[in-house]
């Protein structure tokens, strides 16, 4: 079997405990992805509630975000191949973990790309991640055109007006937002603010990676 991550052949380890997992990544590669953990709201390592999340709480914008892995060098290389080279097969490496995310009574809502971005990249990485989770994926948000956020500083992003609007009836709905990488948490909170304004009930989030 070929490892999705390093492309080398490996012999899957068919033990009873992992019989039901897809086994498409070799063990050495698996070890390179480190689970996040620490801050209860964002998974930042080494602290129960990080300063950033404390600040968000003080602003009345807490958002419980389950971040799955740390955004280390391996994760960055993965994201580069996945996002910029359009290698969507790669996301299968994380299918088993993503399947464990369940949303029974509510919607899984991926953070959208703008129309320009989407036509340039051909796929929305957050949506691909969301579709591997257990629950109903609903595209309930749209994003206005504008400079991609990764090119803006944090201050610029904070001041900037909210690029999202809600396109579905979300009143009373529980929502699980999905994005690829949690960096400042601003994007997810901008989406959360719009959904709250539209009457959504409980909102939480999941991202594949937590930047470090």
What is the binding site for Zn ion (CB under 5 A)? Answer: 3, 5-6, 26, 29, 39, 41-42, 44, 50, 53
Provide the minimum distance between the beta carbon of 22 and Zn ion in the complex, in angstroms, as a whole number.
14
* Nearer of residues 130 and 188 to Zn ion, judged by Cβ: 188
* Nearer of residues 184 and 201 to Zn ion, judged by Cβ: 184
* Nearer of residues 26 and 68 to Zn ion, judged by Cβ: 26
Provide the minimum distance between the beta carbon of 41 and Zn ion in the complex, in angstroms, as a whole number.
5
Both structure tokens of 15: 């033990």
Provide the minimum distance between the beta carbon of 32 and Zn ion in the complex, in angstroms, as a whole number.
9
* Nearer of residues 74 and 136 to Zn ion, judged by Cβ: 74
Length, in residues, of the chain: 212
């Amino acid at each position: 079997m070929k490892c999705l991550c390093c492309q080398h052949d490996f012999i899957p380890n068919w033990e009873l405990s992992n019989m039901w997992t897809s086994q498409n990544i070799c063990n050495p590669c698996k070890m390179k992805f480190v689970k996040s953990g620490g801050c209860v709201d964002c998974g930042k390592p080494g602290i129960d509630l990080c300063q950033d999340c404390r600040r968000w709480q003080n602003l009345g914008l807490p958002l419980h975000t389950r971040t799955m892995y740390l955004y280390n060098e391996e994760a960055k290389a993965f994201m580069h191949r996945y996002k910029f080279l359009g290698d969507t097969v790669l996301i299968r490496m994380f299918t088993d973990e993503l399947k464990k995310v369940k949303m029974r009574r509510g919607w899984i809502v991926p953070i959208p790309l703008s129309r320009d971005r989407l036509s340039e990249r051909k796929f929305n990485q957050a949506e691909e991640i969301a579709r591997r989770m257990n629950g109903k994926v609903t595209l309930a948000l749209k994003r206005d055109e504008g400079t991609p956020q990764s090119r803006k500083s944090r201050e610029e992003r904070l001041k900037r007006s909210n690029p999202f609007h809600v396109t579905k009836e979300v009143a009373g709905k529980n929502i699980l937002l999905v994005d690829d990488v949690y960096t400042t948490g601003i994007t997810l909170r901008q989406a959360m603010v719009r959904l709250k304004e539209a009457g959504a009930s409980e909102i939480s989030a999941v991202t594949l990676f937590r930047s470090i």
